[in-house]
C-alpha cells in the first residue's frame, strides 16, 4: 500500500513539474496565437523566432555573456582558492565567510548595489556592465565548488612531486589541476546556468536597447507574450534535455567500464 501511495505521490509531483512545460511545447506548434484554442500544427513561430533580430540578439547576448562570465568567474575563483590554500586557517575561514555573504544576499540588493556603483563611477550601462555583474555574482559559487577539491592530500602530492624533481609549473599542471578539475567544471557549469537564468541583476545593470532572454520575456509580458517565445523556451528545454541525457549515458558507460 505504501508503494502505491509513493508512486502516486511521485507521479503527481512529476505532472506538477512537467505538465506546464509540455503545455508550452504544444502551444509552440499551434498555428494560431491563441493559448486556449488549437487551430492546427505549424512551425510558424519557429520561423518568426529565427527571423526576429530582437530575439536573436537577445539569445546572442544571453549565451555570450554567460560563457564569458563563467570563464572569468572560473579563472578568478580558482585563483582565489589557490591563494586561500596558502593562508592560515583563521584567515581562510574569514574569507570564506565573506564569500558566502553574496550567495545569501537578495538578488535585488546586489542588483541595486551594482547599478549604483556603475552610476557612481560613470560607467554607461550596457553589455560590459552585465558581463561584469554576472562574473561578480558567479565567483562565490566557483569558490564554493573548487574549495572542497583543494585538500591536504593535494598539498602532499604537490610536495611529493617537487621532492621527486618536478618543477612547480609541471607539478601544478600534472597534480593540482587534475585534482581541481571536477570542481572547476562544476563551478563553470553552475556559473553558466546562473548567468543564463538571471533576471533581477541583469535588469538593474543593463542599458537601453540591450536585452537578454529573461529581460526580453519580461518586456513582452507587458504587451502580450508571442508564441515565438514558446518556441525559444522549447528549444532551450530540448537542448538541456539532450545534454543531460548524453552526460548521463557517458557516465553510466564509464561506470560499467570500471
Specify the CATH number for the domain of residue 214: 1.10.3720.10
* Cα–Cα distance measured from residue 210 to residue 59, given in angstroms and rounded to the nearest whole number: 11
Q: What is the pLDDT of residue 152?
A: 62
Per the domain annotation, does 62 fall within a domain? yes
* Cα–Cα distance measured from residue 39 to residue 225, given in angstroms and rounded to the nearest whole number: 18
Q: Are 194 and 137 in contact (CB under 8 A)?
A: yes
Per the domain annotation, does 47 fall within a domain? no
Per the domain annotation, does 49 fall within a domain? no
Residues 240 and 113 in one domain: no
Q: What is the pLDDT of residue 255?
A: 67
Residues 81 and 199 in one domain: yes
Residues 70 and 180 in one domain: yes
Q: What is the pLDDT of residue 153?
A: 67
Residues 23 and 79 in one domain: no
Residues 169 and 248 in one domain: no
Residues 219 and 233 in one domain: no
Per the domain annotation, does 185 fall within a domain? yes
Low-confidence stretches of the chain (pLDDT < 70) are: 1, 152-155, 163, 254-255, 257-258
Nearest to 32 by CA among 23, 45, 21, 22: 45
Residues 132 and 157 in one domain: yes
Per the domain annotation, does 50 fall within a domain? no
State the residue range of the domain holding 245: 1-42+229-258
Q: What is the pLDDT of residues 220-252, one digit of tens each?
A: 777 777 788 888 888 888 888 888 888 778 777
Residues 95 and 179 in one domain: yes
State how far the alpha carbon of 11 is from the alpha carbons of 5, 18, 42, 112, 201, in Å.
10, 10, 31, 41, 35
* Cα–Cα distance measured from residue 140 to residue 134, given in angstroms and rounded to the nearest whole number: 11
- Residue 38 backbone zone (phi > 0: left; psi -120 to 50: alpha; other: beta): beta
Overall pTM surpassing 0.85 (yes/no): no
- Residue 105 backbone zone (phi > 0: left; psi -120 to 50: alpha; other: beta): beta
Per the domain annotation, does 248 fall within a domain? yes
Residues 115 and 78 in one domain: yes
Residues 220 and 237 in one domain: no
Provide the number of structural domains found in the chain: 2
Q: What is the pLDDT of residue 90?
A: 87
Per the domain annotation, does 209 fall within a domain? yes
Q: What is the pLDDT of residue 117?
A: 92
Beta bridge partners of 30: 41
Coil, helix or strand at residue 245: helix
Q: Which residues have a Cβ under 8 Å from the Cβ of 182 and sit 6 or more positions away? A: 149
Distance from the Cα of residue 65 to its chain's centroid: 11
Residues 64 and 92 in one domain: yes
Per the domain annotation, does 48 fall within a domain? no
Task: Tell me the helices (H) and strands (E) count for the chain, helix number first.
Answer: 12, 0
Residues 152 and 220 in one domain: yes
Amino acid at each position: 500500500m505504501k508503494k502505491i501511495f509513493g508512486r502516486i505521490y511521485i507521479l503527481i509531483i512529476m505532472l506538477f513539474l512537467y505538465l506546464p512545460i509540455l503545455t508550452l511545447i504544444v502551444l509552440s506548434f499551434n498555428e494560431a496565437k491563441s493559448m486556449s484554442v488549437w487551430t492546427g500544427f505549424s512551425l510558424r513561430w519557429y520561423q518568426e523566432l529565427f527571423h526576429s533580430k530582437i530575439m536573436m540578439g537577445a539569445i546572442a547576448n544571453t549565451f555570450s555573456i554567460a560563457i564569458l562570465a563563467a570563464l572569468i568567474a572560473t579563472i578568478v575563483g580558482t585563483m582565489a582558492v589557490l591563494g586561500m590554500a596558502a593562508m592560515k586557517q583563521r584567515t581562510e575561514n574569514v574569507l570564506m565567510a565573506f564569500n558566502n555573504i553574496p550567495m545569501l544576499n537578495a538578488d535585488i540588493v546586489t542588483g541595486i548595489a551594482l547599478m549604483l556603483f556603475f552610476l557612481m563611477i560613470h560607467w554607461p550601462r550596457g553589455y560590459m556592465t552585465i558581463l561584469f555583474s554576472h562574473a561578480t555574482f558567479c565567483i562565490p559559487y566557483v569558490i564554493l565548488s573548487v574549495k572542497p577539491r583543494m585538500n591536504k592530500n593535494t598539498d602532499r602530492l604537490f610536495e611529493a612531486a617537487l621532492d621527486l624533481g618536478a618543477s612547480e609549473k609541471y607539478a601544478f599542471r600534472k597534480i593540482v589541476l587534475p585534482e581541481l578539475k571536477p570542481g572547476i567544471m562544476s563551478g563553470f557549469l553552475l556559473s553558466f546556468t546562473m548567468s543564463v537564468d538571471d533576471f533581477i541583476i541583469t535588469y538593474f545593470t543593463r542599458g537601453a536597447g540591450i536585452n537578454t532572454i529573461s529581460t526580453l520575456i519580461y518586456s513582452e509580458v507587458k504587451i502580450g507574450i508571442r508564441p515565438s517565445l514558446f518556441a525559444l523556451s522549447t528549444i532551450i528545454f530540448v537542448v538541456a534535455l539532450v545534454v543531460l541525457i548524453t552526460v548521463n549515458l557517458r557516465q553510466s558507460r564509464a561506470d560499467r567500464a570500471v
